[in-house]
Chains A and B, each alone.
Chain A
Amino acid sequence: MYGGGNTFEGIKTDSIASEDPILLAAFEARIERGEKIEPTDWMPQLYRKQLIRMIEQHAHSEIIGALPEGTWITRAPGFKRKMSLMAKVQDEVGHAQLLYSAAETLGKPREKMIEDLINGKSKYSNIFNYPTFTWADCCFISWLVDAGAIVNQLANAKGSYGPYCRALDRICAEESFHLKYGHHCVIYLASGTAVQKQMFQEALNRWWPPMMHFFGPADKISAHTEVLMRWKVKMGTNDEMRNQFLDMYVPKIWELGFTIPDPNLKKDTETGKWNYTEPDWEEFKRVINGDGPCNKERLEVRRIAEERGKWVRDALKTSRQAYVSPLA
């Protein structure tokens, strides 16, 4: 029932050498023409594999990302913030649901993806391995991490895989509200009491390095992605995305009277590119490989939630199986 008749488990091929050259040429021509690839269409195995990895990672990021913000729902100050934050985090969980469904069209069931999240086989956005100590940390995520996500997602929405693009269109529409909400929260901190201003400045100082990591390693040290760009799986380089984010949000942060903890951060007026201190990519690698401040806690929470919910999911399966059993 899955697109192309293949399942994730069956994938062994890591290169395009064994693909049928005629089908491959037709596939590439379709992408070149700007057509979307749909689940039942032919696609190279590498394309399928990379897309599953990417969409799955995105889905995991949404569900893990719900944790550092979710913990502030019960502490949000006042009705307005409490209700908005609840709706915002609910959206994120909804995005996970949409994305798992999009990835399932490529042949990997949601249960298997969640299993791989918990056993550490598949990754999620590194930034959620950092803790939210104060309300301002939560506001930083709502505004700037979501802003970074939008930069990535708007680009990916122009990609080649239909179900992922359609999911991203819906996600981006909701994310734009998150961005407004987050910006609104930060404006109130910026124009509030000295305590509020300091609270956000401290959050910004804490979150800036992970924010720079957010877009992935610098192009000069990141893996070769030429074929993924050609197939419109990846729509921009890490540095391009990072630069776009800096261009859009650094002036807004400065405008609110905050300082960014990087003395070298400056736009080169000639090239239009931002200069900045190269983030510590060793730390990035360390955290993504499991040694960050919150990796263990995040996965443990997810594992416990899955374990505690197992009887509920089992009860659903039992009933459904009984219902679809043939009578004769």
Chain B
Amino acid sequence: MTLALKELLYKMADDQLILGHRNSEWTGMGPLLEEDIAFSSMAQDKIGQSLALYTILQALGEQDPDTVAFTRNANQFHNCQLVELPNQEYDFSLIRHFLFDTAEALRFEMLTNSSYEPLAQLAKKIRGELRYHTLHANTWIKQLGSATPESTERLQKSLDYAMPFALGIFEPSPNEQELITTGIFEGEVALQKKWLAKVESVISQTKLTLPDLKSIKPELGGRKGIHTDHLQPLLDEMSEVFKIDPTAEW
């Protein structure tokens, strides 16, 4: 049971850490000051959420959060590939934020009923933060998804590009069945179903078209430690100072 639980906690924590890191790269670079600030807020929430999840893992016998986050290599990370992709233009960052946070908000909503009490408690807290993330994403998707020909076209292109990676969010972990049986987590299939309904309802209020999911091959592998070429350079950058002397206090 512990192994299955750790798999779940690691993939969630890694997702939050890596996307938080990517969001923080918008600092000083946003299309307008207000978005700069918004992406920074979401980055802080996500990094904080990953810290909380790594802290639960530490209680389960794993190493301390700093060591876990700052010293592992890419093949030891279990985040989905969607979150590690470079920010690119704002349209991609926004679409990723929308697709990922819609799933994340639902995931934590489901986890408020988890039989594993520390996770249920944490989910109740995080759920509130994620509500703002999805509110932010939905507002912008609705706005830019119908505003000008350029904004609509950009969002559509990014949506088509991101969708196979978004389906990779729901790649099940090897021991997932145990989580379902013990009531820790309802599983990725159940989550994907809820996610699709939410995504469809927002997209239907725009001029965008949701790609036909049946024709898409999901980009899998992230949950097993298989990543794009973008993750290792991100981790190298993240640990640049930390690794000067991992025993030092910074």
Interface positions of A (Cβ within 8 A of B): 63, 66-67, 70, 72-79, 81-83, 86-87, 89-90, 93-94, 96-97, 100, 135, 185, 188-189, 192-193, 195-196, 301, 305, 308-316, 318-319
Contact = CB atoms under 8 A, between A and B. Distances in A.
A18 to B, nearest CB: 36
Contacts of B47: 79, 82-83, 86
Interface in B123-182: 143-144, 146-148, 150-151, 154
B28 A312 contact: no
B144 A75 contact: no
B107 interface: no
Contact of A308 (B34, B36, B89, B242): B89
Given A73-B27, A315-B143, A135 B241 contact: yes
A86 B28 CA distance: 11
A309 B90 contact: yes
Q: Counting chain B CB atoms within 10 Å of each CB, which of A76, A77, A313, A318 scores highest?
A: A77
Interface residues of B, number: 46
Contacts, number: 134
Please list the 7 inter-chain residue pairs (A to B) with the smallest Cβ-Cβ separation, ordered nearest first: A309-B31, A315-B147, A312-B31, A90-B40, A77-B250, A315-B151, A77-B241
Given A66-B28, A86-B40, A319 B65 contact: no
B237 A83 contact: no
A184 to B, nearest CB: 10
Contact of A78 (B70, B147, B148): B70
Given A90-B40, A311-B154, A74 B31 contact: no
B90 A93 contact: no
Contacts of A312: 31-32, 35, 90, 144, 151
Nearest to A72: B241
B24 interface: yes
Given A76-B241, A83-B47, A86-B44, A67 B248 contact: no
A296 B70 CA distance: 33
Given A66-B27, A90-B27, A312-B31, 18 more contacts: A66-B28, A67-B28, A70-B27, A74-B25, A74-B234, A75-B240, A77-B242, A90-B40, A185-B250, A192-B248, A193-B245, A195-B248, A309-B32, A311-B31, A312-B32, A312-B151, A314-B150, A316-B147
B66 A309 contact: no
A311 B144 CA distance: 10
Contacts of A72: 241
B69 interface: yes
Contacts of B225: none
A83 B65 CA distance: 13
B76 to A, nearest CB: 18
Contacts of B150: 311, 314-315
B1 interface: no
Contacts of A318: 147-148
Contacts of A305: 28-31
Please classify the interface of chain B as helix (H, G, I), strand (E, B), loop, or mixed, using the class held by over half of its residues: helix
Contacts of B147: 315-316, 318-319
Contacts of B90: 308-309, 312
B148 A311 contact: yes
Nearest to A193: B248
Interface string B197-238: 000000000000000000000000000000000000010011
B196 interface: no
A93 B148 CA distance: 28
Contacts of A185: 250
Contact of A74 (B24, B48, B65): B24
A182 to B, nearest CB: 13
Nearest to B142: A319
Nearest to B240: A75
Nearest to B155: A315
B22 to A, nearest CB: 9
B45 to A, nearest CB: 10
Nearest to A139: B250
Contact of A301 (B29, B65, B144): B29
Nearest to B40: A90
Contact of A86 (B27, B148, B242): B27
A79 B245 contact: no
B250 A301 contact: no
Contacts of A83: 44, 47-48, 51
A89 B41 CA distance: 11
Contacts of A78: 66, 70, 242, 250
Nearest to A306: B31
